[in-house]
Amino acid sequence: MIRMSAVVLAALCSFAVSAMAQEKIKIEKIMFGSGGMIAVFDEKGGKKGELPKEAFPSVPFDAADYNRNTRSVKVNAGGQEVWLSPFQVQVSAKAQVLTECQTAQRVSGTTFSSRGASECK
Amino acid sequence: MPLRGAKGTFETARRAWQGFIACLFLQCTGWRRLGDRLLKLSFVPALIVSAAVFNPLDISGSSGRTSLDAYRRIATSVYPDKGQKKIVVVQIDDTSLAVNGESYPPSFDFYARLIQKLKDAGAESILLDLMIIDRNRPGEPGGLDRLVSAIADFPVFMTVARSSQQDDSGCATAGRQNVEDLRLAVKGEPHPLIRDGASHVDLFPDSYCGSPRLSAALAVYNEYCGRSEACQGSRNDPLVNPDAFRNMTLTIEWGRVWPAGAEAVHPDHRRLAAECPDGSLLDKAGNFLRTLMPFESGVLSNAPADCRYHPVIRAEWLTAPESATGVDGKALADLLAGRIVVVGAMFSGVQDVGPSPVFGIVPGMFLHAMAIDNLIVRGAGFMKEWSKLGLGDLDLSVLVELAAMALVALAARRIGIWLAPRTLLSAVAWTLLLMAAGSLVGLAFSTWLVWLTGLEPVNWIGVAVAGAAVAGPARIVLAKRFEELRVLEAQEKSQSNGGNA
């Protein structure tokens, strides 16, 4: 019975791990600049040029890669792989950890006004 | 039996304790003196550090906030007007609705008309600090489509509406959100991220409630920078220099001078221009003195309540020009051309307000406008919050404050010895004077530190007050009195022992 439970538990865990690994980052919105153009970058953040709105798939779509350190996203656009600045996109990425302070505050809600005020980051 | 055993143990412990005390008094006198001295030397600093760490009754927070607000009020006199010339605020309120024949919530066509007028006038971008959450509204059918058309292909940002539902971790994920069609139509849906009593803005927290979040201020500034030749590609460009903005907190600086040129729009503005702060030398001196006055409320006590730093346009001047008497249409269009427009609402019963050190409680759109203004004026060099130490609310500024406090205490002690006041009353008066003088020196030091580091001012009031209190003339006189009492007590004790013998 114990062996059976362990096997089931292991299977569930591996399923969860693989589901997490397969979780794709979705790009929900791209903020194009004036004239419908957007600056694109290489992996190290160097500017590669600009691409028009038409070069991108319509949102939402899966990012080719996501850098959790810089929050930059890689996309396939105009037949090439380019990186977008975190300030130009809205993504569906979920963070891994919430601090106790954040959790407590989000449960208790804001205290001053409706401005989403927060005491902890 | 067990009771007898416990009694024996207790007796042994009591004897051991008595022996220890006797040792302290008789055999360890030298050590005790040293301990006394160490205790005397370390007691006050330990008290200050404990007060800073445990922060009872928020003493550190309240003096810190007062220091920050006082600095921000004084600094308004030298705040550059570059951002003031680039931003306009459009205010919607109950009067706007009444003039337009609307009721709360306004129809989609009301917003569509407003946005179209702003576009026609040549606005550069629009930030809607509104909550448009109900699809069912009064008005003609197809209003939502017309609003979406007005927004589409124009840099319109709309702040995220507050959610009423939360997931297991307390993170707001669903509930009252802006109408989906509008969320899709706007260029971006950034977050307010204004906190700490509206004094700070988290520009781009990497991990806030489960995902990276872009603040409204940074989203609009990013748009501005992409259109400004001076900003684009420079170190002030968030796309080129992202580390200067990611996970950074902006401390909102304020301006207070009436926006020149706005008086041409409406007779009310002409009246305000005559009565609001004008930035003259006299006005600056008055502001400085009033800020340092005790019990000052923080509001512009000698100016009308309608004074603002950014030009304010009432929504009905645009949406119902036929009923807006006295409005100069051309001046209005000139004021809007090429500007960032922040649109906000103040409906009765729907409060979205925050405190400002200059104008008192203001509607939320003015907070957004000021944060955007700071970014335009300062670029990547905006005033920042100190880094956290990882000990509760403590940040690195505490170390600077403790060092400054030690210096103030040292100076206060030297001055106290030099003055050698005879009475406690004169000692208290000198201490208060030292506190005031120390505050002015602290303000100068803090200003220099802000200029040098770009970080928000330290708690200069707390430093001066605590430093002068722990080592100033009053403390010296009190210590003398206690010493005299101790000697007197010792003499009386020895006399009484001699009498007994």
Most confident residue range from A76-80, A93-97, B299-303 = A76-80
Residue B399 contacts residue B390 (beta carbons within 8 Å) = no
- Are residues B371 and B401 located together in one domain of the fold? no
Closest CA to B198 of B396, B387, B370, B398: B370
Q: List the single residue in B with minimal CA-CA distance to A35.
A: B153
Residues in chain A closer than 8 A to B239 (CB atoms) = 39, 41, 47, 85, 87-88
- The pTM is what? 0.80
- Are residues B59 and B94 located together in one domain of the fold? no
- A11 in B contact zone (CB under 8 Å): no
Residue B129 contacts residue B365 (beta carbons within 8 Å) = yes
- Are residues B223 and B277 located together in one domain of the fold? yes
pLDDT: is A14 or A91 the higher one? A91
Residue B495 resides in a domain: no
Both tokens of residue B335?
């004021």
Most confident residue range from B118-122, B183-187, B270-274, B298-302 = B118-122
Contact A71 B354 (CB under 8 A): no
- Are residues B345 and B456 located together in one domain of the fold? no
**End-to-end alpha-carbon separation of chain B, Å?**
45
> Does A116 have pLDDT greater than 50?
no
Both tokens of residue B274?
């005559």
- A97 in B contact zone (CB under 8 Å): yes
User: Cα dihedral sign for B335, B339, B345, B351?
Assistant: negative
**pLDDT of B35:** 61
- A121 in B contact zone (CB under 8 Å): yes
Both tokens of residue B304?
């009308």
Closest CA to A105 of B69, B172, B266: B172
In angstroms, rounded to a whole number, what is the distance separating the alpha carbons of residues B446 and B459? Answer: 8
Q: List the single residue in A with minimal CA-CA distance to B218.
A: A87
Range scoring the smallest mean pLDDT among A116-120, B189-193, B322-326, B390-394: A116-120
Residue B98 resides in a domain: yes
- Are residues B365 and B425 located together in one domain of the fold? no
Question: Which residues on neighbouring strands pair with residue B484, listed in sequence order?
Answer: none
Phi and psi at B362, nearest 5°, equal -125, 155
Residue B204 contacts residue B213 (beta carbons within 8 Å) = yes
Residues in chain A closer than 8 A to B222 (CB atoms) = 31, 87-88
Burial B160-175 (b: 16+ CB within 10 A, else e): bbbbeebeeebbbeee
**Chain centroid to CA A108:** 26
> Does B392 have pLDDT greater than 90?
no
- Are residues B265 and B357 located together in one domain of the fold? yes
Location of structure tokens 């530190």: B449
Residue B36 resides in a domain: no
> Does B464 have pLDDT greater than 50?
yes
The kind and range of the H/E element at B477 are helix B473-500
Residues of chain B above pLDDT 90, percent: 42
Residue B419 resides in a domain: yes
> Does B343 have pLDDT greater than 50?
yes
- Are residues B348 and B445 located together in one domain of the fold? no
**pLDDT of B352:** 82
**pLDDT of B39:** 54
Mean predicted lDDT score pLDDT of chain A? 72
Contact B219 A90 (CB under 8 A): no
Contact A86 B212 (CB under 8 A): yes
Q: What is A61-79 written as a DSSP string?
A: EE-SEE-TTT--EEEEETT
Range scoring the smallest mean pLDDT among A104-108, B64-68, B190-194, B294-298: A104-108
Range scoring the smallest mean pLDDT among A97-106, B203-212, B266-275, B443-452: A97-106
> Does B25 have pLDDT greater than 70?
no
Both tokens of residue B51?
């007060």
Contact B219 A31 (CB under 8 A): yes
Cα Rg, chain A, nearest whole Å: 20
What average pLDDT does range B129-153 have in this prediction? 88
Residues of chain B above pLDDT 70, percent: 84
Pairing of strands B249-251, B200-202: antiparallel
In angstroms, rounded to a whole number, what is the distance separating the alpha carbons of residues A116 and B34? Answer: 54
Contacts with B, A 20-79, CB within 8 Å: 29, 31-34, 39, 41, 45, 47, 70-71
- Are residues B263 and B161 located together in one domain of the fold? yes
Residues in chain B closer than 8 A to A89 (CB atoms) = none
Residues in chain A closer than 8 A to B195 (CB atoms) = 115-119
Distance from CA of B53 to the nearest CA of A (A): 17
Closest CA to B359 of B433, B487, B254: B254
Contact B195 A92 (CB under 8 A): no
Distance from CA of A6 to the nearest CA of B (A): 27
Q: Which of B381, B401, B428 is the last residue of a domain?
A: B381
Mean predicted lDDT score pLDDT of chain B? 84
- Are residues B281 and B400 located together in one domain of the fold? no
Contact B210 A94 (CB under 8 A): yes
Angle at B283 between CA B280 and CA B284, to 5 degrees: 90
> Does B21 have pLDDT greater than 90?
no
In angstroms, rounded to a whole number, what is the distance separating the alpha carbons of residues B262 and B89? Answer: 11
Contact B239 A95 (CB under 8 A): no
The kind and range of the H/E element at B60 are helix B59-75
What average pLDDT does range B328-336 have in this prediction? 93
Q: State pLDDT tens for residues A19-54.
A: 444 457 889 899 998 788 899 999 888 889 999 999
> What is the band of B124 on the pLDDT scale with cuts at 50, 70, 90?
very high
> What is the band of A98 on the pLDDT scale with cuts at 50, 70, 90?
very low
**pLDDT of B63:** 79
In angstroms, rounded to a whole number, what is the distance separating the alpha carbons of residues B244 and B229? Answer: 19
CA within 13 Å, CB half, B129: 34
**pLDDT of B30:** 60
Q: List the single residue in A with minimal CA-CA distance to B237.
A: A87
- A98 in B contact zone (CB under 8 Å): yes
- What 3-state DSSP class applies to B494? helix
**pLDDT of A35:** 81
- Are residues B172 and B251 located together in one domain of the fold? yes
Of A95, A112, A116, the CB nearest to B210: A95
What average pLDDT does range A77-94 have in this prediction? 87
pLDDT: is B18 or B175 the higher one? B18
Kindly list the domain boundaries of chain A, sorted by start residue.
25-106
Residues in chain B closer than 8 A to A114 (CB atoms) = 162, 351-352, 364
The total number of structural domains that make up chain B: 2
**pLDDT of B98:** 94
Q: State pLDDT tens for residues B147-188.
A: 999 998 899 999 987 665 566 655 665 556 788 899 889 999
What average pLDDT does range B453-467 have in this prediction? 86
- Are residues B444 and B374 located together in one domain of the fold? no
Q: Which domain holds residue B440?
A: 46-65+388-482
Residue B154 resides in a domain: yes
In angstroms, rounded to a whole number, what is the distance separating the alpha carbons of residues B450 and B403? Answer: 17
**pLDDT of B316:** 95
**End-to-end alpha-carbon separation of chain A, Å?**
46
**pLDDT of B409:** 83
Residues in chain A closer than 8 A to B227 (CB atoms) = 33-34
Residue B215 DSSP label: B
- Are residues B306 and B163 located together in one domain of the fold? yes
pLDDT: is B330 or B137 the higher one? B330
**pLDDT of B27:** 57
In angstroms, rounded to a whole number, what is the distance separating the alpha carbons of residues B436 and A54? Answer: 64
In angstroms, rounded to a whole number, what is the distance separating the alpha carbons of residues B103 and B178? Answer: 19
Both tokens of residue A87?
């300030």
In angstroms, rounded to a whole number, what is the distance separating the alpha carbons of residues A87 and A33? Answer: 12
Both tokens of residue B406?
């030690």
Both tokens of residue B315?
């929504």
**Cis? peptide before A60, omega within 30° of 0:** yes
